[in-house]
Structure 1
Amino acid sequence: MRINRILLSTPLIVVALVIQVSILGRLQLPGAVPDLLLLVVLGLALVYGHVGGALIGFGAGLLADLAPPSDHAIGRFALVLCVIGYLAGLTKPDSGQHRSATVPLMVVIGAAIGSTLLYAGVGALVGDTAARHVGVGGLLLSATLYDLLLAPFTVPLVMALARRTEGDPLTGDGTGGQSGTAKGREAGYSWLSTGTGLKASRGRMPKAARMPREARIGGQRGGLLTRSARNKAGRIKGVKRL
């Protein structure tokens, strides 16, 4: 993972977790708690892709599992946000930027519903039945509503910050390495085009070079025979040829 991604993601996740635990968690809202940490993970995953989204989601979920007042098994949030970050990162277009807000909005809705269901499902596997007493339907409705209200103020800002880090030439899964490889290939094979250009600049081939091989050999033999005959005639006549 890129160093600049870590330097940006870490403070964003820490600030979001502190706000969620100390402020949003104390509002005593009906149903679910507004998940600011989830929105930050989604904003980063929409820019960094599925690999970065999965890693960031796992780290953010692990911090949420360890942050007080944690009343569940460690690893539940890590698993949920890792899966959500991976799936959200799959929506990243090849151009690297979404053309409209429709896809991020659908991602927020799907993540709010999916994270609630996945968290309740994992809790059922480990014996946590708190979601049954609260009501999964009420949690889904309230979580989706709260996340949609917070998304316009959170996701675009996080995505804008994340795009600024993508301009730095660091190692990673971006397209810079591919373009550099293409340039290297062009530079490596440029001697072929240079050689072709030199041949082309020399002009057309000589007429003798374009003649068939048999004709050139026959002409060379005829020239040798004619020269020998001339030399012999010169010796007979006593004429010194210069």
Structure 2
Amino acid sequence: MRLNRVVLSTTLVVLALVLQVSVLARLHLPGAVPDLLLLVVLGLALVYGHVGGALVGFGAGLLADIAPPADHAVGRYALVLAVIGYFAGLIKPEKGQVRSAAGPLLVVAGAAVGSTVLYAGVGALVSDGAARGVGLGSLILTSTLYDLLLAPFVIPLVMALARRTEREVTAASADTGATNASREAAHRWLAAGTASRGGSALLRGRRGSGMIGRQRSGLLGGRRSVSTVKVGRIKGVKRL
């Protein structure tokens, strides 16, 4: 994951866990505790996709497993949220835009039911009796109800923050690419100008050397003609 995703996901997960433990768990509502952490994972998965959703879900679940007052086996909720984040990311909307509220609400309802059933199933496999004494049907019903009531306030906000961060990174990358392209164009222009100046200077040098050569040959020819005249005159004098 990119650094901006890690920073945003960590901030939202920690904030959700603190609110869930310190506020929602103390309301003593009948049945399950409203799962604010699950809603944050769903909101991020709907923007980041299945891979990002699985990674965020695993990290969030692992943090919930080790944070007090956790009373279950470590890794149990991490597995649940990783699976939920993966499947939620598979139905990521195109370009991160949600056309209606029905889709995310259906995802929340399915995730609430799936996470409760999966959590109970993993607990049965590892012989973790933390949830014994509470009916599974009551947990499913209350968790789905609470999550659906919180979803309209949590998921749109989380998705908006995630999309804004993605757009800022994309814009920064585009600006960097444009700057690099302009630098390359300027470098090519300077190289072409240097080459043309060098070529014209070389051409002028060749022309100058040709003129100098012709001048030298002209001077030598003039000297030879003068010497020839002088020799002729001397010979003529001697013949006279």
Instruction: Please name the residue that 2:235 is paired with.
Output: none
Distance 2:18 2:61 in 1: 13
| Structure 1 residue matching 2:74: 3-state secondary structure | coil
The structure number with the bigger radius of gyration is 2
Whichever residue aligns with residue 102 of structure 1, its letter is A
Alpha-carbon deviation of 1:96? 2.9
Contact 2:54/2:84 (8 A) holds in 1: yes
2:41 equivalent to 1:35: no
Whichever residue aligns with residue 116 of structure 2, its letter is T
State the Cα deviation string for residues 60-109 of structure 1 (Å, max 9, x = none): 00000010011111001100000000010011133332211111111000
| Structure 2 residue matching 1:52: 3-state secondary structure | helix
State the Cα deviation string for residues 106-143 of structure 1 (Å, max 9, x = none): 10000000000000000000112343420000000000
Distance 1:93 1:149 in 2: 22
Distance 1:66 1:166 in 2: 30
Q: Deviating runs (4+, > 3 A) in structure 1? A: 129-132
Taking the TM superposition and a 5 Å limit, the aligned residue runs for 1:127-146 are 127-146=127-146
2:121 equivalent to 1:118: no
| Structure 1 residue matching 2:95: 3-state secondary structure | coil
Instruction: Please name the residue that 2:54 is paired with.
Output: 54
Instruction: Please name the residue that 1:216 is paired with.
Output: none
Distance 1:83 1:17 in 2: 19
Alpha-carbon deviation of 1:169? 4.0
Whichever residue aligns with residue 156 of structure 1, its letter is P
Whichever residue aligns with residue 82 of structure 1, its letter is A
Whichever residue aligns with residue 108 of structure 1, its letter is V
Taking the TM superposition and a 5 Å limit, the aligned residue runs for 1:197-216 are none
Distance 1:52 1:114 in 2: 19
Distance 2:137 2:88 in 1: 23
Distance 1:63 1:132 in 2: 23
Instruction: Please name the residue that 2:97 is paired with.
Output: 97
Instruction: Please name the residue that 2:168 is paired with.
Output: 168
| Structure 1 residue matching 2:127: 3-state secondary structure | coil
Alpha-carbon deviation of 1:165? 1.2
Gaps of 5+ in 1: 171-175, 181-242
Distance 1:23 1:35 in 2: 12
Whichever residue aligns with residue 64 of structure 1, its letter is A
Whichever residue aligns with residue 8 of structure 1, its letter is L
2:1 equivalent to 1:4: no
Whichever residue aligns with residue 44 of structure 1, its letter is L
Alpha-carbon deviation of 1:161? 0.5
Distance 2:53 2:19 in 1: 21
Which stretch of structure 1 is more off in the superposition, 142-151 or 95-104? 95-104
Whichever residue aligns with residue 165 of structure 2, its letter is T
Instruction: Please name the residue that 1:159 is paired with.
Output: 159
Instruction: Please name the residue that 1:236 is paired with.
Output: none
Distance 2:130 2:62 in 1: 20
Alpha-carbon deviation of 1:52? 0.5
| Structure 1 residue matching 2:97: 3-state secondary structure | coil
Alpha-carbon deviation of 1:27? 1.1
Distance 2:95 2:133 in 1: 45
